[in-house]
Amino acid sequence: MPVVPDPTVLHPFPDQPRVVLLKPLVTSPLIEVGEYSYYDDPDGPTAFETRNVLYHYGPEKLVIGKFCALAEGVRFVMNGANHRMDGPSTFPFPIMGGAWAEHFDLITGLPGRGDTVIGHDVWLGYRTTVMPGVRIGHGAIVAAGSVVTSDIPDYAVAGGNPAKVIRLRHTEADIARLLDIAWWHWPADHLTRHLRTVMSGTVDGLEAAAPAPTP
């Protein structure tokens, strides 16, 4: 009898080393990833933490939900990329060392935008760039090549530079129902039984398939 896929396996498709599950890959305490979220890259997907999460000096976190699909070249620019902008120059002189290092206080404690949060069931297209402190809602889709500089609502399709909402995937009433159903939190065996409904059914059908609330 087929078993539910193992969320702790690094390469879920043995013949496709370009695909990695992120939860068993990441080691940084500043990155949180939900089960089954994956990254696809033919050129070193296991280097995700260093090649795709940039300027991550903390303390802000990158949080990625469950069942997210990240296409090749997706980048997260974190708050460490900030430069001082209140003076005549933005150049970070102290990092060059020498006598300039005495002024390191000029580049520490710069204001940040907080954690970067990607919801559950989010699809980030090829070479999407996500800027610091952005929240991308559950069920959102971001088009290839987009630069996300501000929050994207739940179940929105967005694209462009800067990314703008193109349309919503469902009516606002159905989005509220989907958020309440939250299929990504279903037990694995229950999700497996209703996979066709999750992938190709209706909101009504998904609501009917939801497990009974725990007393």
Of 13, 11, 15, the closest CA to residue 23 belongs to 11
Task: List C-alpha distances in Å: 204 to 116, 137, 158.
Answer: 32, 21, 25
Among residues 11, 56, 83, 190, which one is catalytic?
Answer: 83
Question: Cα separation of 165 and 153, whole Å?
Answer: 8
Question: Cα separation of 132 and 37, whole Å?
Answer: 20
Residue 175: in which H helix or E strand, if any?
helix 172-181
Question: Cα separation of 178 and 121, whole Å?
Answer: 11
Is there a catalytic annotation at residue 83? yes
Catalytic residues: 83
